[in-house]
Structure 1
Amino acid sequence: MIIRNATEKDIPSILELLYELGRPEPIDKKEIIVFKNKIKDYFSDPTKLILVAEIDSEIVGLVSIIFLRRLNHAKFEMYVPELIVKKKHRFTGVGKKLIAKCISIGKEENCYRIRLESGNQRKESHKFYKGLGFEQSGLSFSKNLLGNKIEINEM
């Protein structure tokens, strides 16, 4: 298995992995272009990175990385929005190798921590992260803004 920086030729495989994880699929050809351009933006942004895991020329996993500046830290925080391994390659060490590469890059870039999120329903993923030394350090809150009327009540 090799872990390498993703390239534009990897975009179809990256999109497939995102869909396999349950991320929204494009609703039309216009949206496919939008998704592809979002991935291309990662390639040109020095604060973002996509790594892929490849076995026998097949992309079997990916991790996306964003280096964030925080107001209360001099060093970057490494944020991992996506870590995805194809179903048939889970529990084979692919995810561990992707995280190990993140840790290595985080140390090289002098990051103060790696942070990621995992959906409440992904119990196996939670065990995986804890087994790698990650700790639950907070709760994540979100508000869907699509199709909802936004109201903020004054106190």
Structure 2
Amino acid sequence: MNDLLIRPASRSDVPAIMAMLADDPLGAQRESPDDPTPYLAAFERLAADPNQHLVVAERGSRTVGTLQLTMIPGLSRRGATRSIIEAVRIHADERGSGLGTRLIEWAVEESRRQGCLLVQLTSDVSRTDAHRFYERLGFEASHVGFKRVL
């Protein structure tokens, strides 16, 4: 893992991120990697927002992982800032290599560095392997989540 670099994503990373987002049963249903337009527009919004941290993991010149870390200032918990880890994806060739752990550890450390008192994430109910992974890293299943498609 010494040859791994975790860095802010650039516009040129978007195609590799799109491919990783689509490379699983859930992503295959909801992503459209043939049309980069909405992804590039979203990248521009993320890049302009100081509370958003879209990163990639790079080995050599190859993008092998990604996640988005969002900082959320709030009034609850005595005015605490919390972070949310989203869209964690590991290239199929790298799954099981420890890369996911490295990315989550980076997100937790960056959250601490930014003064967050809590880091949270959600995971689709069908991703039972991911749930075990997050529990192994110290996350606890604590809430019931709800979504409403608009």
TM-score when normalising by structure 1? 0.85
For the residue of structure 2 that corresponds to 1:16, the secondary structure is helix
Once the two structures are superposed, the pairs formed by residues 68-147 of structure 1 within 5 Å of their partners are 68-73=72-77, 74-145=79-150
Once the two structures are superposed, the pairs formed by residues 19-58 of structure 1 within 5 Å of their partners are 19-21=22-24, 22-23=26-27, 24-26=30-32, 29=35, 32-58=36-62
CA separation in 1, counterparts of 2:147 and 2:121?
A: 15
**Are the counterparts in 1 of residues 22 and 32 from structure 2 also a CA contact under 8 Å?**
no
CA separation in 1, counterparts of 2:62 and 2:34?
A: 26
Of structures 1 and 2, the larger Rg is shown by 1
Specify the code of the residue in structure 2 equivalent to 1:57.
Answer: S
Q: What 5-or-longer segments of structure 2 have no aligned partner?
A: none
Q: What 5-or-longer segments of structure 1 have no aligned partner?
A: 146-155
Aligned residue pair count: 143
Deviations 1:7-55 (A, max 9, x none): 11111111111111433223975xx312211022111110101111111
**Are the counterparts in 1 of residues 14 and 39 from structure 2 also a CA contact under 8 Å?**
no
Specify the code of the residue in structure 2 equivalent to 1:67.
Answer: M
CA separation in 2, counterparts of 1:27 and 1:137?
A: 33
User: Which residue is 1:150 aligned to?
Assistant: none
**Are the counterparts in 2 of residues 26 and 35 from structure 1 also a CA contact under 8 Å?**
no
User: Which residue is 1:62 aligned to?
Assistant: 66
TM-score when normalising by structure 2? 0.88
**Are the counterparts in 1 of residues 54 and 66 from structure 2 also a CA contact under 8 Å?**
yes
User: Which residue is 1:9 aligned to?
Assistant: 12
Question: How far off its partner does 1:71 sit?
Answer: 3.0
Q: CA RMSD in A?
A: 1.6
For the residue of structure 1 that corresponds to 2:135, the secondary structure is helix
**In the superposition, relative to structure 1, how do residues 141 and 58 fare at CA in structure 2: closer, same or farther (>3 Å)?**
same
- Any runs of at least 4 consecutive aligned residues in structure 1 with deviations exceeding 4 A, and if so which? none
